[in-house]
Every structure is written in C-alpha cells, then in structure tokens.
Structure 1
Amino acid sequence: MQDANSIIAPSKQGVMVGFPPPPDKRVTAANCYQPEHMAWRIQNTTRLFPSARISRGADSISILPQGERLDIERLAVAASDGTSLPMQEVLRRTSVDSMIVMHRGRVVYEGYFGDMTDSKVHAMYSCTKSVIGLLVEALIHEGTLDETRPASAYVPELQASPAGSATVRELLDMRANFMFSEKPKIPGQVQVDYIMGLGFIPRPTDYSGPNGVYELLSGAKSMGSHGGMFRYDNGSTDTLGWILRKVTGQTLDTLIGDLIWSQLGAERDAGMSIDASGVEWAAAGMSAILRDFARLGETLRCHGAFNGRQILPSAVYQKIKMGGDRECFGDGGGGNMSGGSYRSQWWFYHDRFDSFACRGQYGQRLWIAPNAETLVAQFAVDSTLSALEPLRLSGFQAIADSMA
C-alpha cells in the first residue's frame, strides 16, 4: 500500500534528523507540545520523558499467524455526508501511522506509514485506562477489591478528597465527579493544569501547584455527587491506579508486566510514563509496539485467553462485556459516540458487531468486533482529537463488513 501519511512523517520534515538536528528541528520535553512536533512526540514518548519498563518476561514470542490478505485498498467507507471514500483516504484523513487487522485470530492486514515500523514503540495514551480496568476487575473477581466500597477505604490519604468518596465502580465507569482545578474540563481538549501538575508540559518559573498525581488527587475539588451522568476524566483512572498500588504493594508497570504483558508472549517490553513525583501515569502512560497491542486485543476477543493461557478469568471478560448504563452515557461525554456506553474503562458501541474498544487521544484504537470475529489495532497522530471519530468508526465497520 502506498504511504498514506507521508505528509506528516516527521523525518520528511527534517524533525530530529541529523547529529545533532538543527535547533529549529530539535524536539525536547520543553517544546514537544508545539504543533509541528506533535507527530514525533507521539511516536517517541519514551525518549522525551522518564519511563518505567513493562517487562515482556522471558517466555518465547507468541506467533501471530497470517491469514488470507485483506485487500484493504479496495474497501469503500461511508462518510457522514453520504459520499463514499476509499479506505486509503480514510487512513490519510485520520492520520493513521500503523494498523493491524485480525480475523479469527489471523493477521489479514498489517501496514506501517511514515516513520512507523513494526518494532517502534508508540504512545497508547488513554488506551492505558482499559489495561488498568482489566487489572481492577481481576482484583474484584478474586475478592481483593469490593467495587461498592469508596476509594478512601483502600487509600486513606484520600479521606478528605472528593476522589476518595467515589466507589470503585463509579471510578471504573467514569461516574465520579471531581476536578483538578477551577478551570472546567472541556471535552476533547487537553487538561493543561492537570498535565502541568504531572510534569509533562513545562511549568512557569513561579509554579506552586501540585507536583505529581498524588498531590493532584489529594487536592481535588468536588463537582457534585457521584454516580450520576457519565463524565470522562483522567482523575478516575489515576485514583484506580493508586488503589492498585496500595492493595498489591506493586507499581503499575510491575503489575501490567507480571499479569498481562509477560503472559501475551509479547515481542517487546512496553513502557509506562513516570510523572514529576516518580509515579506511573495510570490514565495515559503506556506505550507499546502495534503487534503487542493487537495481542492484547485478541486476548479480549477470545474472552481473556491467548497464547495458550487464560490470561484473564473469563468471568472478568463477561462482566466487562455487559457494557455500561446507556441512559447515563448521554452524548458520550465528548467522545463523539452517541448511543454507546462505558464500563470498566472500556467503550461500547452497541452496534451490529457487538463492538467495544479502548480509545486513546490522537487516534489510538483497539476496536474489537466479536460478531465479525475481527479486531483492528491502530496507532495514529490525529490532531483533531475526536472530530473524525465517526469517519474512523465507519472505516472499522467497513473492514468488519468485508469479513462476512
């Protein structure tokens, strides 16, 4: 397939090319959020910020068997204006830099565009939330956590914070209600005060705000009672991350490595961004190669089983797949998927494919369609955030329809 995204390839723009790169093409932690550096940052997060290693373990790499090739170039995708677009144009518009399609456990399409390769680690962003959700649900299943208890029952440091009064289930389903600053969160936009508190964007010289996730959560402010309408927010997942550390005595990178990544037969170690206080970023810190991202998806498609192992109890999968409360979901909280629901840090579409997904900022997607026995694992550098989500979903659905 022709390179669909050559226009955004950082190397073709001279970004970080040369030894050393020219000053105006050099990306650092201080300037990486500038628009011209976004694509390079997303594809090189572990080179910009401290990162913990999520170990793949010492077992052999699991095989991703090849199936009959999907002629993806010939697929047509229905656009919202009633027209039809070739799949290659959809990939270009949604700034896909790598994609794998699996059908019945076999890879039927695998493509890398621009500077991406099959061995390059890529930011997953909020797809990290779904991994955290799997860990929490596993601990609920084994009885270590009670989903009806408040966070403060496990993290006494949150006793005075509104984050501490939300139950584990309310946190899992994004029905907790608190904020990190007086500035309201705008759906589809980056929470600048929050990211600055974590230390991932430069702070002004007179900065006196929170330093790291523990201080952010401890100083959170109430926005009303919990348990109402769906409200997508990083704070719920960050609270779950603190709960996981408390009840297991382990860091998140260790938990993910021991319980999931090392069981997948992954090809590469994954990474976990570390905030300014030395804590793993539960809400959006993971990075991985695409093929391992696809292995995670196949595990979910197969009810928690992969690589000859039951990695997650089937009961955990069944509980998550119940989906969330559609009445409280509204318009998707800025996620641009009216009619869906959210449960256990996973998104549910309630469509003809019975599809569900993990979703990360800038177009990271793991879309699983059980009724089509299909999954799409995708990394992207889409600066439009959720604006192109309907087109992206139409592309996934066209792929699933082609498998019939």
Structure 2
Amino acid sequence: MRRLGYALAVLAVVLASLAAWKREDIIRLMAVQSLFSEDRIVWNFSHMDSLFRAVPLDAGAAPEPLPEGPAVTLPDGWDAWLKRRAITGVVILKSGVRVHEAYRLGTGQADERISWSVAKSYLSGLFGILVAEGHVDSLGAQVVEYVPELKGSAYDGVTILNVLQMSSGVEFDEDYLDFWSDINKMGRVLALGGSMDRFAAGLTVRAHSPGEAWEYVSIDTHVLGMVARAATGRDLPDLMAEKLLRPLGTYGQPYYLTDGYGVAFALGGLNLTTRDYSRMGEMFRQMGRFGGRQIVPADWVAESTRPSARTKEGARQYGYQWWMAADARPGEFMARGVYGQYVYIDRSSGTVIAVNAADRNFREHGAFEDALDMFRRIATGEGKV
C-alpha cells in the first residue's frame, strides 16, 4: 500500500508539472473552443494576441489620417443592417476622402481587429511585389521547387498559380462547425504550438487534379506564404511590414498570429485597425498606388483582382486571393473574411468600404448578398434616407 501511495504521489507531481508546463497551450486550446461564443466573440476579435502566440510587425510611425469630407448619406435600413450583421467597425472612403467612420459593440478606433481571410488579399499584394522584384520567376513554377519539404504531399505537382487561385485540388474540409474538419484541426495545431508547415506537408489526399477546379482551401494560402518565405529567405512578418504596411502607413501596433515555431498564420492571422483595412482598399482602388508611391505593381493589381479561377458559372468569382460577385462590374472586387470582415472596392464610384464584424450568422443563406447589397447602395448612392 505504501508503494501504491508513493506511486500515486509521484504521478500527481508529474501530472501537476505537465499541467504547469503546458498551461499556456491548454489556455489557448480553451480559447479556441470559446473563440466564437456569443458572450466572447467581440472582445476576442480585438484581443487575439492575448489568446494566441503573436509577433508584432514593425510598421513604423502612425501616418496622418486620410482627409475627412462631408459625411455620406447612408442608405435606408443602415442601422438595422449594422445590428443584423453584428458590425463592430466601418470606414467608408469616397475618392480617398473619409466620409463615414463608426464603431459599435464596445469597440473603438484603436482596436486591432482580426482580419481572418482578408489577410489572404494582403498576401496576394505582397506576392505581387515579390514577383516584380524577381524573387519568383514564374507563376507556372511548382511550389515544391521553392519548398522541397512539400514533396510527396498533395502539393507535389501544384503550381504557384494553382494556390493563388485556390485550385490546388488538395482535399481540405473548410467546415467551421465540424469539430473534426481540417480547418478546425488546423486551429488546434495553431493553439497547441504545432507547426503549420508540417500540417500542410501532411496533407496527402487530392479531391481534384491541380488546376482542374476551384475549391476554397485556406491552407493553399499558407503554402503561398511558404513559397514567399523560401523565395526571399525572410519571415512573412518582416516582408509584410517592409513591403506593404510601412509604405501604406498603419495605426497602433499591427501583429500576426503565429504557430509554435514563430511562423505567421498567413491565411488569417493579420490584425489591424479598421482604418488600416480601408487604406489597403484605397491602394487597390488606385491600382496599387498610395501616397504618391507605387506600392503594388499596377499590372499585378489588375491581374489579381479580375475573375480568373475556374469557379462555377453563376457563382461568386475569384482571382488571386480576391473575391468578385457573380455579377461584378469591372473594377468591383473585395477581400472577405469569416464572421463578416470585408474590404469592398468599386472603382467606378471611387468607393472603398472596410468593415469588421462579429457576425455569428455569416454562414446563413443570403448573408453575403446582404452585405453586397448594402455596399452597392452606398457606392451608387441608392436608397438614401
């Protein structure tokens, strides 16, 4: 009995030590489980660096705000839409002039809000710069030419263009509501300090041949980030800060969420203020030019924001990590993230709309159309009070 008691005491000490050693990982795992809870989601989306590993981006001094003009008259039903879509922050620009800015649900101008998949469009812009600088020779090159550790995975034989267009063919379940989906497995890898690179390399099943069909696969964006890192020999946060954010100017302290190896969560871990998101939209409205400087090459802006992926006829369209509506007019496109994050651009009317939200109903039928309709009414001036 004495030996049993001793063994149990030793086991208790080991378990206590293990719990202390893994305390932060356990806390992060718990954060994943409650990340989208109704009573937590708004606060969580403004404090992601307190829930996950994160690295700050050296984006330089805060810029002067964009000029402010006469307030735009908002469409009828605006307040109801804000409530329905759980909007936390919105900035509207007309021809580079800020005509509306508001924050809700306890958030404020200084809040750095999680981008989710809006980060994909930032990475697209950065990649265009790297191509122009000669770090990447051809979009037709296979990703394994830059990232040999992907040999033998489902990404072996996939081109850079394929991952840009979400046409890798890799089988990946993007269902946020399924605990065992690939996207949620990936979230647990992130929370528990695993390796995103290893997770990507561990995917071995294909749903389609590369380039055969479009299917939204978020891990494609991580692979795009792996190529950017390999092509330059630099970390993504450094590249993003130097090539894109410092030239644009940012407020506060932007940051990336990272895995346990310090690798940026490229497909959705960028955190910026709503004003910052609007500046990125304004740069793309101006064909990559901002503050008198060409930041992203104009030809890349044109190519990346036109429909080019093999989406189904009559469905939403896709370019290089940018979205277009099924009936998009020329120069109308958007960055889009889960739970209601948008950067909408319409060149014909000079409109940029940056929206952050905590919309737990973002997957319901018609939610996208609800947002698009409001954006278009603002752009065209229809439905004014």
Question: What is the TM-score normalised by the length of structure 2?
Answer: 0.84
Q: Which moved more, 1:42-51 or 1:389-398?
A: 42-51
Structure 2 equivalent of residue 375 of structure 1? 352
Aligned residue for 1:297, secondary structure, equals helix
1: CA distance, partners of 2:160 / 2:213? 16
- Alignment of 1:104 onto 2:80: no
Q: Which residue of 2 aligns with 1:151?
A: 143
> Residue in 1 aligned with 2:161?
169
- Unaligned runs of 5+ residues in structure 2 are 1-28
Question: Structure 1: which 5+ residue stretches go unaligned?
Answer: 1-26, 77-85, 204-209, 332-337
CA contact (8 A) 1:347 1:358 kept: yes
Q: How far apart, in 2, do the equivalents of 1:320 and 1:308 lie?
A: 22
Aligned AA (1:399): I
Distance (Å, rounded) in 1 between the aligned partners of 2:128 and 2:36: 37
Asked if structure 1 preserves the Cα contact closer than 8 Å seen for 2:344 and 2:353, the reply is yes
Using the aligned pairs only, state the percent identity.
Answer: 25
Matches within 5 A, 1:325-364: 325=309, 328-330=310-312, 338-349=314-325, 350-352=327-329, 354-364=331-341
The alpha carbon displacement at 1:94 in A equals 0.8
Within 5 Å, give how 1:3-402 maps onto structure 2.
29=31, 31-33=33-35, 35-36=37-38, 37-58=40-61, 61-72=63-74, 75-76=75-76, 86-145=77-136, 146-179=138-171, 184-186=173-175, 192-199=181-188, 211-223=194-206, 224-325=208-309, 328-330=310-312, 338-349=314-325, 350-352=327-329, 354-387=331-364, 388-402=367-381
What is the TM-score when the length of structure 1 is the normalising length?
0.80
Change (3 A) 1:188 1:140: farther
- Partner Cα distance (2:167, 2:44) in 1: 31
Aligned counterpart, 1:11: none
Offset of residue 353 of structure 1? 6.4
**Residue deviations 1:243-262 (CA, integer Å, cap 9, x gap):** 11111111111111000111
Which stretch has the larger CA shift, 263-272 or 346-355? 346-355
Per the alignment, residue 207 of structure 1 pairs with: none
Cα distance in 1 for residues equivalent to 2:174 and 2:244: 32
**SS of alignment partner, residue 280 of structure 1:** coil
Instruction: Give, in whole Å, the separation in 2 of the partners of 1:110 and 1:194.
Output: 33
2:161 partner amino acid: R
Q: Which amino acid aligns with 2:290?
A: F
For 1:284 and 1:134, locate their aligned partners in 2 and report how far apart those are by CA, in whole Å: 15
Q: Is the 8 A contact 2:179 2:185 kept in 1?
A: no
The alignment partner of 2:128 has SS state of: helix
Q: How far apart are 1:320 and its partner, in Å?
A: 1.7
Q: Deviations over 1:267-305 (max 9, x none)?
A: 223110011333111111101011111111111001111
Instruction: After superposing the two structures, state which structure 1 stretch, 136-145 or 220-229, moved more.
Output: 136-145
Aligned equivalent of 1:7: none
How much has 1:192 moved relative to structure 2? 4.4
Shift of 1:339: 3.8
Number of residues of Structure 1 aligned to a counterpart in Structure 2 = 349
After TM superposition, the structure 1 stretch with the greater mean CA deviation from structure 2, 346-355 or 129-138, is 346-355
- The whole-number CA distance in structure 2 between the counterparts of 1:191 and 1:96 is 29
CA RMSD, Structure 1 to Structure 2 (Å): 2.4
Distance 2:64 2:255 in 1: 19
Whichever residue aligns with residue 87 of structure 1, its letter is W
Deviation of residue 177 (structure 1)?
A: 1.3
Bigger Cα Rg: 2
1:319 Cα deviation after fit: 1.9
CA contact (8 A) 2:93 2:351 kept: yes
- Runs in 1 of length 4+ with deviation above 3 angstroms? 184-203
* Deviation at residue 56 of structure 1 after TM alignment: 1.7
